[in-house]
Chain A
C-alpha cells in the first residue's frame, strides 16, 4: 500500500500558529480520506517556519468498490412502476435480477459504485483542505484570491510505494503540485526532489532543516542548559518561549552572551521580561549570586565565524533595550509615588465608571471597611489601596504591562512604605486563576477583596455582565477570586452589605456622567441603611440620585449574589460538594456569608455520607411527603405544636422526647455555627423516626390523633430543615 507525503511550503508562518496548523492539516486530510473510503495505517504532521508537512502511511491505493442492492417492484408490476424504479436506481433493465420473495417474483437492482484511485481522492481532499484551512488570520497576495497565512509557494504531494513515487496532480490557483521542496533559506536554498517521507526528512536534515518542532525544542533546551551548566549557571525555564523560539528557526543554533554589569541593578523580573518580550532570549541565572547574568539566543543558522557576528549584534540590541529599561526604572524611582497616583486621574478605567483615580478612592474606602473583618489595620489597608495602582502610570509598566503589581511593590518599597503595603501592591491582583496562590497577609487580602468587589459591583451597576462565552472584563475570574480569598482565609463578610450601596452609588454616578457634563462627582460612599432613612437635605444632588437608584441596586445586588452562588457551585463541585447540597444550604439565611455557607455545606455533605445521615434523610422525606400530601388535601398547614397527651404508642412518645432533646441540643450548636454537632444531634432522630413509622399509622380515623401526628411530622420537618433545607437534597 502506498504512502502519502504532503508539504505546503510558504513564506514564514507565525510561530504561535504552527503546531495547531500541523494538527489541523492532519485532521482535515485524514478525515477527508477516510470519508472517501481511503483508510490508512498511520499519520504524522510536522511544522517549521516555512512548511507544514503530513506523512500518511499505508493508504489504500483506491477506495473500495461499493455494491448496493435495491429491492424493486414485482415482475408483474406495471411498466411505469418498473421504469420509475430504474430511473431512481440509475440502472438499466439488463442490470436487474429476479428473485423469489414472499410476495412472488421481485426485481432487484444491483448498483455498483466503482472505487476511485487514491490520487484522485487525495487531490480533491487536499484542495478542499487548502481552500478552507482554519488559520486564525489569513491573507491574499499578488493578484490572486487564494488565502493562506502568508504567500503559499509550492505544494509537494506524492504517493510512493516500492515501485517509486508519483506526483498527485493538483493545481490550486496556478500553484502546481510537484515532488520538490527547498532547504534552509540561507544555508541550502536549492530545490530538490524527494521520493518518500524518509527521503524527505533525510534530505531536509542535510539541507539544514530539522522537520520536527519537538526535536528543535529539545535541541535548543539541551544545548542551552549544557552551555550554562559548563559555566556553573542555569537557564531559567520558560516553556512558552521555548516552543515559540522552536517555531522561529529551521536550524537552531544556541548562542550564549553576557549582560553588561550596568544592568545588574535592575530587578531580575525586568531583565527577564525585557529579554523575553523584545528579544526572545532565555535568561541565564547564576544560582550562587542569585541573579541573571547571561542570556541565550537562538540563531537560525551556522556561520563561518561560529556566530560571533550574530552574538555581537544581539548583545548590542540588548544593550539598547536594557538602557531603555534602566532609564524607565531610574525615572520611576525618581518619581514620588504620590505623583504616580495623581496621574491616575488622567487614566480612564471605563467611560461609565470613571478614572483609575476614582476607582482607587473607592477601593481604598472599601479596603478600610473590610480590613477589620480580615484582621488588617484599616489605616494600612487604606494606604495600600491608595498606592496599589500607582505603578500603572509608571514608565516601566507602560512599556511592560505584564509587570504591573510587581513594579508597584518595588516602587512602594523604594518609597519606604511598610512592607505589608508594598506586598499588597503586588498581591492584590491575586488570585488570577484557579491555580494561582491566594494572598494571606491581612492587608493584601483586604485590598484584593476591595479591588475585585469594586470591579464586580461596577460592571453590575452598568449592566455589563458576562454573557455566554463573553466575559471581556474577566468578571468570572474576579468572582472566583473573591470566593477563594474569602473561603481560604475564613473571612466573615456579608457580601450583600458591600454590594448594594456600591451598586447604587456607581449606577447613580454613571448616570450622572451621562446626564450632566459636570463630571467630577465627589467620590463618596453612603451607608446603605443611613441612606434609606435619610432625607435629601444635606446632600442635595447625590442622595437624590442614589434614592432613585436604590431599588434598582437591590435587584442588581441580588443578581450579583446569585452570580457568586453559581461560581461557588462550580468551585465547591471540585471539592466534592454536590449541587443539591449547596442548594440546600443556599436556602438558609445569611447565604451571602460565603464562609458560613461553605461550613454548612461541608458539614451537610459529610453528614449525608454517613449511614445515619442517609437514613435520616429518608425518614425526613417520608415525614415531609406525608405531611405535604395531607396539608394539600386538607388545605391547611400543620404547624401547631403537637401535644404528647394525644400520643397513643410508646414509639410516638419516644419520638416526642427525641424531638425535644434534639431541638434543645441543635439550637445552641447552630448558635455556635457548629453544624457538625447540630447534624449529629439530628442523626439521633433516625431511630425514633424509623420506629415511629414502623409502629404508627399517621392517618387514623381519630381526627384529633391524626392532626396531632401531622403536627408531630411538622416538628420533624422543622428540626430537619433548621440546619439546611433537606427538601433540596436528592436521594
Chain B
C-alpha cells in the first residue's frame, strides 16, 4: 500500500486506469455489449460465461439504461443512461478482495486516508433468475461497488463460483474527482485543447431520453415488441441443435439470449411509462426470467458452457 499513483483528472482516465489495472491482472478486456441492457451483468460475458465449468476472466465497460431513473439531466446523481465497469472471474480467486482493493488504489483512492468497508448486500436479479452473496463496498459511507459471489444464474447452480465486481462509474468518478454534479464532471482532461464535461456529452441525451421514456415511447408498440422478442427467443432455442445446412451442432444460445435482453429492456421501458401495474409486474418479470432460464439451460449444452462431445 505504499504505491500511491497521482489522482486521475477525468472520467475517462478512471476508466482507462481500471482497464489497464485489470488487464495487468490477466483479464480479457472485452468491449461493451452492443445492445440496450439495464446493467453490466446482462452482458453475455457475465450471464452466460458464469455458467458451466470452463474458467473465464473478463472485464469491460457496459453502458447501462434504467429508464425510470431519468431526471432530464437535472439530478446530480441520477441518470437513465450510465456506465458500469464489470469484472468477472471464474473460479473466484482467493485474493479477489485484495485484487479489488488494488483497483481502488489504481484509480487514486488513498487507502491510508479513506475508510473502505464491506457491508452485507445479497444480490438477486429476478429477471436473470440469479443470486449471489457478497457486499456493497463503501468508501467513506458511499457505495462504490457491488461485490458478489454468484451462486445461481438462470436457475443453474454455479460450479465453480464466479466472483463479480461491478463499479458504478459515474458515482465512483464523481467521488474520486470531487465533483458534486455529474454534469460538471470532466469527461476528458480539463487541460485538453477541447475540454469536455460529462454534461457536454450527455446532458442533451438525458433530456431527450427522459422525455421519450416517460411520455412518448409508444406503449402499444413496446408491448408488441415484447411479445415478439419473447416468441423469437423460444423459437430460436426450439430449433434442433444440428444445423441442416452445415451439418454441424450449432446451439443458437446467443441469438436467443439477445431476444431475452431485448424483452428485459422493453419491460423496463414499459415500467417507466407506468403502464405495468404492481400485479402485472411480477408476471412480466417471470416471463423474462423464463427466457433467461431457457438460454442458461441451452448454454451448458454448448462448448463454451463446458459441453463435451
Contact at B94–A313, with CB atoms within 8 Å?
Answer: no
Which chain A positions have C-beta within 8 A of B115? 299-301, 303, 310, 313
CA distance A271 to B60 in the complex (A): 38
- A316 vs B140: C-alpha distance in the bound complex, in angstroms? 9
Contact B133 A150 (CB under 8 A): yes
Asked if residues B113 and A309 are in contact (CB atoms below 8 Å), the reply is yes
A312 to B304 Cα, complex, angstroms = 47
Do B120 and A16 touch across chains, with their CB atoms under 8 A apart?
A: yes
Q: Can you name the residue of chain B whose Cβ is closest to the Cβ of A149? A: B133
Chain A residues whose CB sits within 8 angstroms of the CB of B158 once the complex forms: 140
Q: What is the CA–CA distance of A144 and B94 in the complex, to the nearest angstrom?
A: 11
Q: Within the complex, what minimum Cβ distance (angstroms) separates B17 from chain A?
A: 20
Known A141-B161, A142-B94, A348-B277: A313·B114 in contact at CB below 8 Å: yes
Q: Does A696 contact B (CB under 8 A)?
A: no
Determine which of A16, A139, A143, A323 lies in contact with B133 in the assembled complex, contact meaning CB atoms within 8 Å.
A139
B264 to chain A, nearest CB (A): 23
Do B93 and A142 touch (CB < 8 A)? yes
Q: Is the CB of A279 within 8 A of B133?
A: no
Question: B76, B111, B135, B160: which contacts A143 (Cβ < 8 A)?
Answer: B160
Q: How far is the CA of A317 from the CA of B141 in the complex (A)?
A: 7
Q: Is the CB of A313 within 8 A of B141?
A: yes
A587 to B205, CA, bound (A): 74
Cross-chain contact B160 with A142 (CB below 8 angstroms): yes
**Chain A residue nearest in CB terms to B53:** A143
Stretch at the interface among A7-15, A19-27, A465-473, A627-635: A7-15
Interface presence of A304 (CB below 8 A)? yes
- A-side contacts of B116, CB under 8 Å: 186, 300
The distance from the CB of A213 to the nearest CB of chain B, in whole angstroms, is 16
A139 adjacent to B111 (CB under 8 Å): no
Known: A139-B132, A309-B140, A313-B175. A11 touches B113 (CB 8 A): no
When C-beta atoms are compared, the residue in chain B nearest to A314 turns out to be B141
A244 smallest CB distance to B (angstroms): 10
Within the assembled complex, what's the spacing in Å between the Cα atoms of A351 and B278?
Answer: 10
Which B residues touch A144, using CB under 8 A? 160
B interface, over-half SS:
loop
From B117, B163, B279, A300 is in contact (CB under 8 Å) with: B117
B1-A186 in contact (CB<8A): yes
Residues of A within 8 A of B133 (CB): 137-139, 149-150
Cross-interface CB contact of A318 among B94, B141, B175, cutoff 8 Å: B141
Query: Is A141's CB under 8 angstroms from B92's CB?
Result: yes
**A residues in contact with B135, CB < 8 Å:** 12
Q: Which of B132-169 contact A (CB under 8 A)?
A: 132-135, 139-142, 149, 151, 158-161, 163
Chain A residues, CB < 8 A from B204 = none
The yes or no answer to A711 lying at the interface (CB within 8 A) is no
Instruction: Decide if A331 is an interface residue (CB 8 Å cutoff).
Output: no
B77 touches A320 (CB 8 A): yes
Residue among A142, A144, A153, A312 facing the most chain B CB atoms (10 A cut-off): A142
Instruction: Name the residue among A141, A150, A186, A320 with the largest chain B CB count within 10 angstroms.
Output: A141
Name A280-324 residues within 8 Å CB distance of B. 281, 297, 299-301, 303-305, 309-310, 312-314, 316-318, 320, 323
Q: Is the CB of B119 within 8 A of A348?
A: no
Bound-state CA distance A312–B277 (Å) is 42
User: B172-186 vs A: 1/0 string, CB under 8 Å?
Assistant: 000100001000000
Contact of A310 among B114, B118, B119, B134 (CB under 8 A): B114
Say yes or no for B125: interface residue by CB 8 A criterion.
no
CB-defined contacts of A313 to chain B, threshold 8 Å: 114-115, 139-142, 175
**Does the CB pair A142–B141 fall under 8 Å?**
no
Instruction: Judge if B112 is at the interface, Cβ distance under 8 Å.
Output: yes
Partner of B140, one of A49, A314, A346: A314
Q: How far is the CB of A369 from chain B (nearest CB, A)?
A: 29
A303-B113 contact in complex given A139-B151, A346-B277, C-beta closer than 8 Å = yes
A139 to B139, CA, bound (A): 25
Check if B122 is an interface residue, CB within 8 A of chain A: yes
From A13, which residue of chain B is reached at the shortest CB distance? Answer: B120
Q: If the complex has contacts A140-B151, A304-B112, A346-B277, are A317 and B142 also in contact, measured as CB distance less than 8 A?
A: yes
Q: Is B218 an interface residue (CB 8 A)?
A: no
Of chain B, the residue at the smallest CB distance from A319 is B180
| Residue on B nearest A189 in the bound complex, by CB | B1
CA–CA, A320 and B75, complex, Å: 10
Residue A685 at the chain B interface, CB threshold 8 Å = no
Please judge, given known A-B contacts A309-B114, A309-B140, A348-B278, whether A248 and B1 are in contact too, CB under 8 Å: no
Interface range for B: 35 or more
| CB < 8 Å neighbour of B76 from A153, A279, A281, A320 | A320
Q: How far is the CA of A309 from the CA of B113 in the complex (A)?
A: 6
Instruction: Say whether B140 contacts A15, CB under 8 Å.
Output: no
Which listed residue, A153, A299, A300, touches B94 by the CB 8 Å rule? A153
Q: Are A151 and B94 in contact (CB under 8 A)?
A: yes
- When C-beta atoms are compared, the residue in chain B nearest to A356 turns out to be B278
Given known pairs A140-B161, A309-B140, the reply for A248 and B119 (CB within 8 Å) is yes
A348 partner residues in chain B, CB cutoff 8 A? 277-279
CB-CB < 8 A to A318: which residues of B?
141
User: CA–CA, A345 to B49, complex, Å?
Assistant: 43
Query: Does B108 belong to the interface (CB within 8 Å)?
Result: no
Whether B102 sits at the interface, judged by CB under 8 Å, is: no
0 or 1 for each of A195-224: is its CB under 8 Å from B? (1 = yes): 000000000000000000000000000000
Query: In the assembled complex, how far is the CB of residue B23 from the closest CB belonging to chain A, in whole angstroms?
Result: 22
CA distance A374 to B87 in the complex (A): 63
* Distance, CA A424 to CA B216, complexed state (A): 41
Q: How far is the CA of A16 from the CA of B119 in the complex (A)?
A: 11
**What residues of chain A lie closer than 8 Å to B142, measured between beta carbons?**
313, 316-317
Contact B122 A142 (CB under 8 A): no
Among residues of A, the one whose C-beta sits closest to the C-beta of B277 is A346
CA distance A304 to B112 in the complex (A): 8
- Tell me the smallest distance from the CB of B132 to a CB of chain A, in Å: 7
Nearest CB on A from B270, distance (A): 15
Instruction: State the Cβ distance, B24 to closest chain A Cβ, in Å.
Output: 21
Does chain B have a CB within 8 A of A347? yes
Closest to A305 in B: B113
- List chain A residues, Cβ under 8 A from B120: 12, 14-16
Q: How far is the CA of A712 from the CA of B110 in the complex (A)?
A: 97
B91 within 8 A of A: yes
Q: Least Cβ distance of A345 to chain B in Å?
A: 10
Within 8 Å by CB of B118, from A11, A137, A139, A317, lies: A11
**Chain A residue at minimum C-beta to C-beta distance from B97:** A11
Asked, given contacts A248-B119, A309-B114, whether A346 binds B161 with beta carbons under 8 Å apart, the answer is no
- Name A139's contact: one of B91, B149, B159, B278 (CB within 8 Å): B149
Residues of A within 8 A of B1 (CB): 186
User: For residues 83 through 135 of chain B, which have their beta carbon under 8 Å from a beta carbon of chain A?
Assistant: 91-94, 97, 110-120, 122, 132-135
| Min distance, Cβ A413 to any Cβ of chain B, angstroms | 28
Which among A143, A249, A318 has the highest number of chain B CB atoms within 10 Å?
A: A143
- Smallest distance from the beta carbon of B299 to chain A beta carbons, Å? 19
Q: With A139-B161, A151-B94, A317-B140 in contact, do A310 and B278 touch (Cβ < 8 Å)?
A: no
Inter-subunit contact A142/B114 (CB<8 Å)? no
Q: Once the chains are docked, how many angstroms separate the CA of A138 from the CA of B122?
A: 11
Select one of A141, A249, A304, A347 contacting B278, CB under 8 A.
Answer: A347
Shortest CB distance A358–B (Å):
14
The smallest beta-carbon distance between A457 and chain B, in angstroms, is 22
Nearest CB on B from A243, distance (A)? 14
A–B pairs, 22, beta carbons within 8 Å: A14-B120, A16-B120, A139-B149, A140-B158, A142-B92, A142-B94, A151-B149, A186-B116, A248-B119, A297-B141, A300-B117, A309-B114, A309-B140, A310-B113, A310-B140, A313-B141, A314-B140, A314-B141, A316-B142, A346-B278, A348-B277, A348-B279
Closest 10 pairs between A and B when the two form their complex, measured CB to CB:
A313-B140, A14-B120, A12-B118, A143-B160, A314-B141, A143-B91, A299-B115, A139-B133, A309-B113, A142-B91
Since A12-B120, A140-B158, A346-B277 are in contact, a sample of 9 more A-B pairs with Cβ atoms closer than 8 Å, ordered by chain A residue number, is A141-B91, A143-B160, A150-B133, A150-B149, A151-B92, A309-B140, A313-B115, A316-B180, A347-B278
